[in-house]
Amino acid sequence: MITNKPFESSPNLVDQAAASADRAIKSTQRVANDALDALSSGVHDVRDQAAPALERGSEKLAALAQRSVDAVRGSTQHLKESALRASDTTVSYVKDEPVKSILIAAATGAALMALIGLLTRSHHRN
Q: For residue 8, what pLDDT band results from cuts at 50, 70 and 90?
A: low
Distance CA 11, CA 79 (A): 98
Q: For residue 19, what pLDDT band results from cuts at 50, 70 and 90?
A: confident
What's the confidence (pLDDT) of residue 1? 46
Distance CA 45, CA 56 (A): 18
What's the confidence (pLDDT) of residue 126? 61
- Within a 13 Å sphere around the CA of 83, how many CA atoms are in the beta-carbon half? 6
42, pLDDT greater than 70 = yes
Distances in whole angstroms, Cα of residue 9 to Cα of each of 15, 21, 108: 10, 18, 119
Contact 93, 101 (CB under 8 A): yes
What's the confidence (pLDDT) of residue 5? 52
Contact 94, 101 (CB under 8 A): yes
What's the confidence (pLDDT) of residue 10? 66
DSSP letter string over 60-110? HHHHHHHHHHHHHHHHHHHHHHHHHHHHHHHHHHHHH-HHHHHHHHHHHHH
